[in-house]
Structure 1
Amino acid sequence: MIPFSTATTVFVVFVVLLFFIFLPFVVIGSLGVSFTRPFKDVKGFEKFGKVCEGVKSFIVQGSKGEKLIVAALTLTTIMAFLFWSLVLLGWLGILVLKKGLAFLGLLWAINILVALYFRGRVEQALKSYAETVQT
C-alpha cells in the first residue's frame, strides 16, 4: 500500500498553491511597472497618485491605437503567466502533458516576446503623453 500523503507531496502541493495564490500579484505588479516607469523622469509626476491619474487619463483619452496596445500588453502578459504556470505544472508532473509541454513552452516564449514588444510600445506612448501633459 502506497501512502497518499508524503512529505514530498505536501511540499509540492504547498509550493503550487503558493505559486497560484501569488500569481495575480505578480501579473499586476509587472503591468504596474510597465505603466509607471515612463513617468519617473517627468516633472510634475513625483507622487504615485499623480502617476495613476496620468495613466488613467492616457487610457481614457488615448487614441484607438493606444488603447489597443494597452489591451494587447495586458492580454499578452496574462497569457505569458498562464503558459508559464502550465509549463511549471507539467515540469512538476502535476499536469500530465507528453507532447504538449514543448508546445506550451514555445507558446510561452512567443508570448513573452510579444509582451515585451507591446511593453516597449506602451512605455514609449506613455513617455510622449507624459511630456505633453507636464505643462
Structure 2
Amino acid sequence: IALRELKAAGCPLEGLPCILQSYMWLQPDTPDPFGYTLGQMVSMLKTFTAMRPDQLGNIYATCYGPGNTQRWGVFVDFSCMHQKPRTAHEDALFQEALTSLDTLYSHPNTIVLRFTKLPEGYPSG
C-alpha cells in the first residue's frame, strides 16, 4: 500500500494506524528462517483486526472505514529497511531509519507486537 493511501485511510484525529513487530533475529542473514515469527504475527494481526471498534476502546476505534473495514500500516524491520548487501544510497536510508526507530517504537499511537519466544527446538543463546 502506498503511503498516500495509508494516510487517506488513517485515523482522522490521531494520524496513521501502525502496528510494529519486535522480535529476535534467529540468524544474521535472515531473522525468521522457518517462518515461525511470521506465522505468529499473522495470527495476531488476524485477531487484532477482527476486533470491533467498541472492543478497541481507544483512538484506534476511529480507524474504521465504510462497512467496518480497516487498514493498518505494518512495520517489519527486515522487509521495511534495506538489508545487506546495500548500495551507498540504501545504506544512507538504512542509517537514517535506525535513528528514527526509537520514536517509531515508543510513539503513543503505535501498537508494538513483541515476539520474545524462540521457536520450539531452536537453540537458545
Same fold by TM-score, threshold 0.5 exceeded? Answer: no
Q: Which structure carries more helix by proportion?
A: 1
TM-score, normalised to structure 2, is 0.35
Question: Larger RCO: Structure 1 or Structure 2 (Cα < 8 Å, ≥ 6 residues apart)?
Answer: 2
